[in-house]
Amino acid sequence: MASRAGRRILWIVSALGLLLVGLLGGGLWTTWRMQRYQVPAEPVRIVERVQLGGGETVGAVTLPGRNGAQITVDPVVLNQVFREVAQRVTPAVVYIEVRVGRAGGEKWLRQMDPNQEPFFQEFTPRQSVGSGVLVSRDGYIVTNYHVVQNAAEILVTLADKRQYQGRLIGFDRSTDLAVLKITPRSGETFPVVAFGNSDELQVGEWVLAIGNPFRLTSTVTAGIVSALGRQVNIIEDFFRVEDFIQTDAAINPGNSGGALVNLRGELVGINTAIATESGAYEGYGFAVPVNLVARVVEDLIAYGEVQRGYLGVSIQEIDARQARLLGLPGVQGVLITEVRKGSAADQAGLQSGDVVLAVNGRAVNAPNELQSVVARYRPGDRIDLEVWRNAQRLHLQAQLMGRETSAYQEWFSELTQQAPALPESPQEPAPDSVFNLENWGLGLRDLSDQEYKTFKVNSGVYIAYVARGSVADEAGLPRDVVILQIEGFEVAALEDVLALLEEFEATEAVLFRVKKRDGTIAFYEVLVPEPISVQR
């Protein structure tokens, strides 16, 4: 018996020992893992009690964050926020139907055929329904232009089922926005949505999309801001301004013109389009930022059109190689490829090759961002520009001009004219007139008298052909353009090109500045081949 009792005691002691070792080992492993992956050591805990309007008391909790910070989260309170925002904003979002003219008479279009309208972003007169947002108590409504385009009659239905005839006040093709007006009956006022500040939006913020998808009126969906400053080339206008808020809140056909709001119930965008292959929501929706909306709405109500100021420049995105060649501290800013003579930019002292870093203190790092910022100002407004030139920061001030200015009229006419069609294959010039830069894959020659007039240049060298698979072809350098500069040095004749390419043969890449037939200026960075071979 004693032996059996002894063995039992030994077994118990051993088990306790293993348990203690396991606990100690597990604790050490957990501590190491927390340190290795920075897992918060503190558990979720209740930090305060929150009293709701109905007398309900709930517990708010905190999550240990990075660097000792704490994030307070309460699902019940968050639900209450969603409910209150939806209740506050939904009455101000209206349902829009349009009557359009067709051969054989006019009729209300009430059937949406997905087979006929495969892409929501295709702005066509067949769009028959959409959404709008009341922005004044006397009945002004902002919506998308493609919702009411070619409308013979507009019917506006409020969330409480009241109906009114809508009148088109004005529209702006460049932003795809329009303003309607409904007339209140005696003693009536309309609910409105307060404008927020879209410049303060950050990726990850909660937003709600409110509209009428598939004729499901007063539908509310939730998501986050998934990206900012998107350009998706969906607005069918040469001077389009696209600086969209991207969201994963569900947006579908019929949401166009509806509200995108933050958790304060403030309007931050007008829902405009989705990226889709099926014609329905696939996770990516786009909204016009409210700061741009406010500017457009104000002008449309006051003047019936947008009074927009222009700098008078052609612009291009900066990539990593160009940033290095220009001496920029990072890949930032927007490259000025051309400054129109007599324009606001010209009078301000901007030059081709400058990089615009900021406008009125706001950084711009893409062409659409610069367009969006400038589009908020009227002719005569002054804007402060932070510019990078010759490895130095400059501050210039430009006074914007309207498109009717004499300095712009010819320019706008040129930009809107269609470029002449090019031959399908290069027309080979006579062998004695073309220099073959074999390793570069370029055929160059001096300009003819007619080409000086066609390209509107005083000097330059014509690119007669680009060999397929060459370094020039891989860089995207096209044929039928005029080389104006190489690495910032002016090119007057063929000899200049040959001398400059020889001078820069020890560098990694060479930057070509060229002019196309339609007048646009472009930059191409071509890797330097080894060795350089020049043949006549």
Rounded to an integer, the average pLDDT of 491-516 is 88
Q: Is the pLDDT of residue 150 over 90?
A: no
| Tokens at 448, concatenated | 């003819």
- Residues contacting residue 497 through CB under 8 Å, at least 6 positions apart: 444, 461, 483, 486, 491
What is the percentage of the chain residues whose pLDDT exceeds 90? 41
Sheet of strand 57-64, all strands in order from the earlier edge strand to the far edge: 45-51, 57-64, 70-73
- Tell me which residue has tokens 């071509």: 526
d(CA 110, CA 416): 36
- Which pLDDT score, from 0 to 100, does residue 176 have? 93
| Least trusted range by pLDDT, from 151-160, 189-198, 269-278, 444-453 | 269-278
Query: What residue segments make up the domains of the chain, in order of their start?
Result: 36-73, 77-305, 313-416, 432-527
Q: Residue 142's CB: how many other CB atoms inside 10 A? A: 27
- Which residue would you say has higher pLDDT here, 116 or 308? 308
- Which pLDDT score, from 0 to 100, does residue 3 have? 52
Give catalytic status of residue 256 as yes or no: yes
d(CA 457, CA 517): 11
Structural contact between residues 426 and 464, judged by C-beta atoms closer than 8 angstroms: yes
Give catalytic status of residue 176 as yes or no: yes
Q: For residue 40, what is the DSSP state?
A: -
- Which residue would you say has higher pLDDT here, 534 or 249? 249
What are the two backbone dihedrals, phi and then psi, of residue 200, each rounded to the nearest 5 degrees? -90, -5
- Which residue would you say has higher pLDDT here, 277 or 311? 311
Q: Which of 74, 131, 146, 496 is catalytic?
A: 146
- Which pLDDT score, from 0 to 100, does residue 52 have? 41
Is-cis flag, bond preceding 531, omega within 30? yes
Q: Which of 198, 226, 256, 314 is catalytic?
A: 256
The CATH number of the domain covering residues in 313-416: 2.30.42.10
- Binding-site residues, in ranges, read 146, 176, 254-256
Are 313-416 and 432-527 equal in CATH topology?
Answer: yes
- Which pLDDT score, from 0 to 100, does residue 64 have? 55
pLDDT digits (tens, 9 = 90+) for 324-371: 878 899 999 999 988 888 899 999 999 988 999 999 999 999 999 999
- Binding-site residues for substrate, in ranges, read 146, 176, 254-256
- Which residue would you say has higher pLDDT here, 39 or 102? 102
Q: Mind spelling out the 3-state secondary structure of 185-247? A: CCCCCCCCCCECCHHHCCCCCEEEEEECHHHCCCEEEEEEEEEEEECCCCCCCCCCCCCEEEE
Does domain 77-305 match CATH 3.30.750.24?
Answer: no
| Least trusted range by pLDDT, from 18-22, 207-211, 271-275, 350-354 | 18-22
225: left (phi over 0), alpha (psi -120 to 50) or beta: beta
pLDDT digits (tens, 9 = 90+) for 20-51: 444 444 444 444 433 433 333 344 343 344 44
Rounded to an integer, the average pLDDT of 462-475 is 88
d(CA 62, CA 72): 4
| Least trusted range by pLDDT, from 386-390, 492-496, 503-507, 512-516 | 503-507
Alpha-helical (H) ranges within 90-201 are: 145-148
Q: Which of 176, 248, 299, 496 is catalytic?
A: 176
Fold of 432-527: Pdz3 Domain (2.30.42)
